[in-house]
Structure 1
Amino acid sequence: MVDSMDLDDNPRGAKRKADALEDGSANQGQPRRIKALDPNVVNKIAAGEIIVAPVHALKELMENAVDAGATSLEIVVKDGGLKLLQITDNGCGIEKDDLAILCERFTTSKLQKFEDLQSIATYGFRGEALASISHIAHLSVTTKTKSSTVAWRAYYESGKLSPPKPGQSSDPKPVAGRQGTQITVEDLFYNIPTRRRAFRSVSDEYNKIIDMVGRYAVHCAHVAFSCKKQGESSTSIAIQSHATRSERVRQIHGGSVASELLEFSTSDARWHFTAEGLLSNANYSAKKTILLLFINHRCVESSNIRKSIEHTYSSFLPKGGHPFVYLSLQIDPERVDVNVHPTKREVNFLNEDEIIQAICEHIRSKLAAVDTSRAFLTQTILQGGSGGALSTPKHGYTTTPSKADSGSNRKAATRPYENNLVRTDTNLRKITSMLPPAVTPTSKSMSAQRAGGKLANQNASVEVPEYEVVDRHATGCRLASISELRAEVRADVHHELTETFANHTFVGLVDERRRLAAMQGGVKMYLVDYGRVCFEYFYQVGLTDFGNFGVIRFSPPLDLRELLELAAEQENQSAAAARSSGRDDQEVEDFDVSEAVELVAEQLIERREMLLEYFSLEISPAGELLSIPLLIKGYSPPIVKLPQFLLRLGPHVDWTDEKACFETFLKELASFYVPEQLPAARSDTDEGSVGVSDGNIGLAGEIKARRDHIRWAVEHIFFPAFKGRLMATKSLMRDGILEAANLKGLYRVFERC
């Protein structure tokens, strides 16, 4: 009954060709025989499973280096690792006799039998990394052991030794080298064009490499890491071996997260684990979770751990906020299966749910213990408003929380106590409007340069320069002297005063001649010597932006010797005036102006390359001043102090010692940028009584313009900069700030009246 049906005679299991399906000749095919793949094909398939991208090759090489006892890893990358991937370590090295089988599959010094996997405690163990790399890239190894008198270099192709050039021997060659191993991987995936074309952006691959190096740099204590692109002098990552874990996080992930880290450690003998690490508190929040997870010192990923940690943080962070967590989990090796993923990216371990629960409970208790203060942006619903619209309070004040406000039965209409009111609206009346103008005769001539657009102030129009953005990349500073100077500033930090500046409210200028301003911190009022604070701020800017300053260019250039001569003559005149008036306790002798000018000019011209590279101070070989450093935008430094600044660079800068040179130069630069002391503003009647000569009119106009610029800069440039960047020091607490009033203290005084 089936003779009218078309039956397919093709045996089950036989594959059909595409053309056979089209022309109907499939029933004529014959079953294909099963054959063993060529070993070269097998190795390429295995390499494709283990080395998926350049970052996986680097991960394997870094793990081998750390297994070899290295304390320093130097990584060089070109084209995202596709063109070049080189890692140099100072580990124990490889014996010459082992180089012959170094890149053969499953050659390892870490396993003898399968049962050894149950107690493996090293990063690598299967002996597949170098073998896989040699099948898809050009691989060379230079290594030297402690007992060897020379280093040995070998080249590999498809797992075997190969000659460096056709016709040469493939045996390892003796070369000069230091102890350790240098592995160079060139032209990765050169023989797999499909895989190579799949990488769209070399910058993305390099970012993946930086991320992986950063993870191991945080985890591997006492190991130095450096990573850079080939041909560039600056490094993307540079971690010293003595850096602490929190310092490593600061250098790699930034100060915002490093300042909010908590250390934690927990263990449980029932589940045979120990966990330790760093986690961000509730004041830090990121757009996505950053989880650095290491299980038995191996960088892995775990979606279960990530989701559990995010769920734990959801009770502490605002909606959409994510934490930073570094977690090092130590589990009994016999309870961990590390051989479940070709790239060892995942592991399995017993009692996973119980261990994760124990860790998350400890994290929750750690966060709850420090979650005592939180800051939120709030708005107030005005009573009687239409539609319940949200707006800020009209009175411009907010209240500080008190213990009495923590109850759940607070009345919404309760009037706050006046002694807890804190000024929050800087548009309210300034203290300067309450003070009468001081009258002081003018005695010094001043000049100021202006360029660019205008910004309006409440009382005056102030001109600020226009800035040009140039295509220049920031360079990292690896000088030990600068690092030491930065450490000295951090060691002298006064944390309470730094917090006050970070959250202050500017009140107004008090005395321009003595450079005093008022600010409010909480319920306290402070008098601030803004000249002293500016000096500290500009010195710190010089340290943090070292080698990356902006530039103020002079057009036309200024004659260096003329400026030095002007300052030297002024020094002689000041010394003579001091001697004649008897105000100088020490005998000051006149000096030869031309000799001093030539001496300082030769010093600066001789060191012009260093001054340009580090400080953006450009001087031509002929002695023309082309530019000076720009430390802060929106503020013009006092050009009238420029000659004195240049002259002091000769005798007041220690050119013989690197650290002392940088310290003294930056302090002189900070002194130059500090706003000059100006005479107080005259009243209208006083200004009318001044002679009407052209010189007086021009001088008064220059002084008024400079005063307006400094007033505007103090309020709109300096104090906002102090809020965001100043690290207040203990010396600044002693001689730069004075507590003028305490609101609660004043209320106690008035209550007794």
Structure 2
Amino acid sequence: MASGSTEDDPAGAGTKRKADDSLSDSQPAKRIRALDPDVVNKIAAGEIIVAPVHALKELIENAVDAGSTSIEILAKEGGLKLLQITDNGCGIQKDDLVLLCERHTTSKITSFEDLTSISTYGFRGEALASISHIAHLTVTTKTKDSNLAWRAHYQDGRLASPKPGQPAEPKGVAGRPGTQITVADLFYNVPTRRRAFRSPADEFNKIIDMVGRYAIHCKGVGFTCKKAGESSTSLSVQAHATVNDRIRQIYGASVANELISFKATDDRWGFQADGLVTNANYHIKKTTLLLFINHRSVESPVIKKAVEQTYSAYLPKGGHPFAYLNLEIDPARVDVNVHPTKREVHFLNEDEIVQAICQEIETKLSEVDASRTFMTQTLLPGAGPLDPSPPPDSLKPQTSYAASGRTPAKNPASLVRTDTTERKLTSMFTYTPGSSKASKFGDRADEPLSKPENIEYQTSDKEPTLCRLRSVKALRAEVREKMHTELTEIFSTHTFVGIVDEQRRLAAIQGGIKLYLIDYGHTCFEYFYQLGLTDFGNFGSIKFNPPLNVEELVRMAAKTERNGLEGTDRDFDVDRVVRKVVSRLIERREMLLEYFSFEVSAAGDLFSIPLLVKGYTPALAKLPRFLLRLGPNVQWDEEQPCFETFLRELATFYVPEQLPAIPGGEGGHREEDIPEQVRGRRQHVRWAVENIFFPAFKARLVATEGLMKGGVLEVANLKGLYRVFERC
């Protein structure tokens, strides 16, 4: 039987049906029905209020929105038994109390378009409604113009009577201006969720952490937090306290004494940021990041990782910083409604903004690095060599060395070159003055091996667009799923050594105490593909004036392709191929222009192609083949495969081409046989590889498993070499 209770099935409907069982012909199809509103509301409540700290966060934000200067918090059993927040804000009108806990009732917005300019914490009207479905909620409030306070009780989003037989309408009581919200027996009707909490102490620690974050950020607002039944407060911050004083009070003097302030702003990306970060004298085992975006406490793994990478050059291995970052972005560039608990937000030009902030932090760190303090173990006079197994940290004597004085001894096997201003491998490939080659080719010996392209750019007034396409988000998620964590870390902290072979597109980098050979062609392909996903819909454009004829370019590539084939493969119809490719590009021209800045006219003229990165122009000799490959290699009929295949072809087009070997090397060409145009292209590619591509890999490349297999080779390990030299 497919389902149902039988004599042989005492468990009834709980018995699983085997895979090869078929439904009985008499079994009716299950009908689709609407869930009971109470079930819907409880599901929504479970998404928004995950733990007591999430309820508290919503209540704190409401209190700050109300203009409060004093917020008092009381918790019992980690907020599960009781969570009470009292503020001195503007209060709630009596007539509004009937709507207070209904879902999607708010004073913050009136239309969906208001989300593009939202500047308050709350806006959806779901917090109190959700709490009322999973707890007993009481609100006592008094406005400045009211003669008395009003108290109301709520259950399942509606006014409820405080006791059986009593009316549910708000009741007048004595009270002070402001609002007091009491949440009792949180998750009383969701026993599974309530049993999942480990201990009240853990939940209270989370509450203290959240209150501390808002206490540091909300200038001019005083906070107190304590456990019910205790006379002393667990946290108390005065309204007039400065940000430094608040950090000192919450996180201790060891953090506050090492803080440096920074500011960053850029009108082009529509943001301004300020904050406090610790200098190189302070480090802890785990990064503490207090991040506020448009004054909302949020989390961002991207920003956290970028800050950690910035500090990696200043802190010892395993050391992490403390950082408070207040980031204000033009509300039109921020999507605040991407997470049920508002824990995350998405915003445009994330990479550029994060890079600007981290550059400012690094500048500040380099300015104060002269006062850095190092800690090392010392030996008593006459003591023998150190034991290879060090004693516990608590038993280690510590000595401080100022940077201007003595420095601790270092293990020679760990002495590696990390100064990127030192001479690169690339600079060693040059002619020496007076050599036969230098005299033969005259001034050519003084040519630089790398130099930037002379490119003119124009700024567009086009507003950046926020990508909401599920297909693009799915492609981004695929990249993250394939991430190779160790290799990503190597790229994010590497030191560029130099280009090794332009013909095979090989470069050397140093990662820690290891030397790696990188296939920068393969790596650039991964980078440009990821860049296409990140900047989707916001590409610049390389314009052609006069425009190019698509048909001529595709025909040129098709003939070249045919000439490279052998036998019967050379019999394909060039005209037919050209017609199909050109017609497909013209047919999809609106989509290509909107998403990729790829402009083709109805007459078949090519006006522009996507610009992925400034300072580098792809080899336009590859343009005909790029256009030809767009025909058969792009899956035009399905959205996600179409975007993926197009971006992969675009990445292939942007990858630097293989160049002739330099004169004098193995397989090298004679200097006089290398055209002037190729020599200039080599200079531009060298410059781009060192100054654009590898810095970009360091800042934003997600190294994938495929890149680890085919694009990276470890060629040296300093510790291994040191052991070899020790034996010599």
Matched with 2:569 is 588
Pick aligned residue for 1:522 from 486, 509, 512: 512
The 5-angstrom pairing of residues 169-318 of structure 1 reads 267-268=200-201, 275-276=206-207, 303=237, 311-314=249-252, 315-316=254-255, 318=258
How far the C-alpha of 1:473 sits from its partner, in A, is 1.6
Matched with 1:652 is 633
Matched with 2:499 is 509
1:701 aligns with 2:676: yes
Alignment partners' CA distance in 1, 2:369 and 2:291: 36
Counterpart contact for 1:518–1:527, Cα < 8 Å: yes
How far the C-alpha of 1:595 sits from its partner, in A, is 1.1
The 5-angstrom pairing of residues 536-685 of structure 1 reads 536-576=526-566, 579=567, 588-683=569-664
Give, as a single letter, the amino acid of the residue that structure 1 aligns with 2:658.
Q
How far the C-alpha of 1:316 sits from its partner, in A, is 3.5
How far the C-alpha of 1:620 sits from its partner, in A, is 1.0
Counterpart contact for 1:289–1:310, Cα < 8 Å: no
- Report which of the two structures shows the higher radius of gyration computed on alpha carbons: 1
Alignment partners' CA distance in 1, 2:317 and 2:219: 19
1:732 aligns with 2:670: no
Alignment partners' CA distance in 1, 2:565 and 2:627: 19
Matched with 2:720 is 745
How far the C-alpha of 1:530 sits from its partner, in A, is 0.4
Alignment partners' CA distance in 2, 1:599 and 1:531: 30
Alignment partners' CA distance in 2, 1:729 and 1:747: 31
- TM normalised by structure 1 equals 0.50
Matched with 2:259 is 319
How far the C-alpha of 1:497 sits from its partner, in A, is 1.4
Matched with 1:491 is 481
Q: 1:713 to 1:89 in 2, by over 3 A?
A: same
* Count of residue correspondences: 448
Please give the secondary structure, in 1, of the residue aligned with 2:716. Answer: strand
Q: 1:80 to 1:56 in 2, by over 3 A?
A: farther
How far the C-alpha of 1:502 sits from its partner, in A, is 1.2
Matched with 1:15 is none
Q: 1:724 to 1:478 in 2, by over 3 A?
A: same
Please give the secondary structure, in 1, of the residue aligned with 2:420. Answer: coil
* Per-residue deviation, residues 309-342 of structure 1 (Å, max 9, x unmatched): 6623343464142775599xxxxxxxxxxxxxxx
Give, as a single letter, the amino acid of the residue that structure 2 aligns with 1:418.
P
1:408 aligns with 2:408: no
Q: 1:418 to 1:64 in 2, by over 3 A?
A: farther
Counterpart contact for 1:291–1:324, Cα < 8 Å: no
How far the C-alpha of 1:638 sits from its partner, in A, is 1.0
Alignment partners' CA distance in 1, 2:67 and 2:212: 36
1:427 aligns with 2:408: no
Q: 1:475 to 1:52 in 2, by over 3 A?
A: same
Alignment partners' CA distance in 2, 1:280 and 1:572: 70
Give, as a single letter, the amino acid of the residue that structure 2 aligns with 1:640.
A
How far the C-alpha of 1:459 sits from its partner, in A, is 3.5
Identity of aligned residues (%): 43
Alignment partners' CA distance in 2, 1:748 and 1:627: 57
Pick aligned residue for 1:77 from 89, 114, 119: 114
Please give the secondary structure, in 1, of the residue aligned with 2:398. Answer: coil
Alignment partners' CA distance in 2, 1:107 and 1:281: 29
Alignment partners' CA distance in 2, 1:749 and 1:639: 49
Please give the secondary structure, in 2, of the residue aligned with 1:738. Answer: strand
How far the C-alpha of 1:469 sits from its partner, in A, is 1.4
Please give the secondary structure, in 1, of the residue aligned with 2:114. Answer: strand
Which ranges of structure 2 fall in alignment gaps of 5 or more residues? 1-63, 69-88, 131-145, 173-186, 188-196, 227-234, 261-275, 278-287, 293-315, 322-364, 373-388, 432-445
Give, as a single letter, the amino acid of the residue that structure 2 aligns with 1:651.
P
Counterpart contact for 1:291–1:326, Cα < 8 Å: no
Matched with 1:373 is 319
How far the C-alpha of 1:56 sits from its partner, in A, is 8.8
Give, as a single letter, the amino acid of the residue that structure 2 aligns with 1:313.
Y
Counterpart contact for 1:75–1:86, Cα < 8 Å: no
How far the C-alpha of 1:380 sits from its partner, in A, is 5.4
Counterpart contact for 1:265–1:275, Cα < 8 Å: no
Give, as a single letter, the amino acid of the residue that structure 1 aligns with 2:628.
L
Which ranges of structure 1 fall in alignment gaps of 5 or more residues? 1-48, 93-104, 128-220, 222-263, 328-369, 383-401, 438-455, 580-586
Give, as a single letter, the amino acid of the residue that structure 1 aligns with 2:506.
L
Give, as a single letter, the amino acid of the residue that structure 1 aligns with 2:113.
V
Alignment partners' CA distance in 1, 2:220 and 2:619: 46
1:467 aligns with 2:467: no
The 5-angstrom pairing of residues 336-355 of structure 1 reads none
Give, as a single letter, the amino acid of the residue that structure 2 aligns with 1:267.
P
- TM normalised by structure 2 equals 0.52
Counterpart contact for 2:563–2:570, Cα < 8 Å: no
Q: 1:407 to 1:497 in 2, by over 3 A?
A: farther
* Per-residue deviation, residues 110-168 of structure 1 (Å, max 9, x unmatched): 3556789xxx9xxx9789xxxxxxxxxxxxxxxxxxxxxxxxxxxxxxxxxxxxxxxxx
Counterpart contact for 2:619–2:657, Cα < 8 Å: yes
Give, as a single letter, the amino acid of the residue that structure 1 aligns with 2:688.
A
Give, as a single letter, the amino acid of the residue that structure 2 aligns with 1:319.
L
Give, as a single letter, the amino acid of the residue that structure 2 aligns with 1:427.
T
Q: CA RMSD in A?
A: 5.4
Counterpart contact for 1:462–1:709, Cα < 8 Å: yes
* Per-residue deviation, residues 563-596 of structure 1 (Å, max 9, x unmatched): 11111111101113xx5xxxxxxx7353111111
Alignment partners' CA distance in 2, 1:634 and 1:749: 43
